[in-house]
Structure 1
Amino acid sequence: MKAGADMNIGKTVCVFVLLTITTVTRTAGNKRVSVTVGNSSVLTCPPKSNRTMVTWKISPRVGGPCTLGYRTDQNKTDRTNCSDSMNWKFRPDQDPALEIRQVEIAHEGNYICEVVSTEGNFHTTYHLTVLVPPRLTLYCDDHGNPVCEAVAGKPAARISWVLESSFTPREEGHDNGTVTVVSKFTAYSSNVTNTTCFVSHPAGNQSNSIVCRPSENSFILHASIILCFLSVFTFMAVIYYFKLHGSRPCHKTKPSETAQNRQTLQVRRTRQIRPSRNHGSSGSPENMDDTMEVEPYTTYVQKENIIYNSVSDLTVGQSLPQGLSSAT
């Protein structure tokens, strides 16, 4: 029985201690703070009187943690691993606020202020976000299209155009956490020349306008494409034409020999045959072959002689005096 009673007393003491801790330790809340890079930021602690100790616990996203402390009983401050850009805003015994001068991206992180007073323990947590405004760049590309760039912004900026267009933003991240956004303007109408780019960002909005005209390089490129297409089309048409008409047979007539060429040929054959006729026998095979080769020429000469005699008779008959006739 006595052991059971001791256990009940122990549970009661534990519950009392937990309730005391919950009552003494209070949270002032979590706060989100945004500050533009290069500016200064001041973070405050819970406004409690009769403070005995104040401690800033800083956990930046880049680098190790650091602490700033102050004890009232010793009127002494202490700092560990904190840069010179972080310090008390005023005297810590009067106002333990923390000031961050020339805020950089490396300062982004969590900042906790803990206050110990006669009323209890209090703390406030800040989540610091550093904003980096992008650098607006607007130019015309090689084809005469406007290009808008929001360079190295944090967070990523949003780009829009005044006139209706078709564009797809492209993002490029950097090692320091910033983002570059690129957008190319493509107008639905080719008559659009003056365009305006809007960049929306938590650190501030920006806008700029530009006039772009089609470049000569773009015209040359289009003309080259058209000429190349026409050349290919013409080449294919020529090939098709020859393929269509090239299957017809081509007949070439062999030029006929003239009478003079035939006569020259026969004379040459006669000159080659005559020596063999004088020295050989008439009954030999060689003479027979020669006779067979000469016969066409002999027949041809006989016909020529007949024609010549006829023409001569006719000519003489016309030339004689009346009453005379040529003897045949």
Structure 2
Amino acid sequence: MSGFGTEAYYTPEVTLTCDSNGTAVCKAAAGKPAAQISWDPNGDSRTELENHTDGTVTVLSIYRPRETSITCLVSHPAWNTSQSKECPSDNGNMFLRHSAICAGLLGIFFILVFVFLCKLHCGRRGLVHDSNEQQEFEPYASYLQKENVIYNTVYEVTVSENLPLGLQSAT
């Protein structure tokens, strides 16, 4: 409180709130006389006054909607200069929000592509695995077959030598 002449001045307390819908509210509480509120850039605003019993006045100014950063300018006879408070633009937050959504969708896309390629690769690997098993058994099977041919030949010769003369086959 400071006095000039016979009239006492009460300096208001200035607050500024900005919401995500683009509305800014500038409040100069309990000033005597009432503070003057303006906006930079000038736009669509609504001002309300609330008179208190002690002779002070609260000025509430609502500015909407905002697309760029805006500044609340408050002037009062008790101050040498006006006070200003700034609401930054919400466009930066929108950019971050959209970037995060795009990054998330791209991440999901890459995960799905990775899963698809893994399934595709595992399917081919399973087919290759089956042919590898066949290749592993194939040399063994042919070896047994050759062994059997030799064994059968040796067996026939051995059997025919031990048979009585009437039972031996004519070769």
TM-score (norm 2): 0.47
Bigger proportion of residues as helix: 2
The structure with the larger Rg is 1
Higher relative contact order (CA 8 A, sep 6+): 2
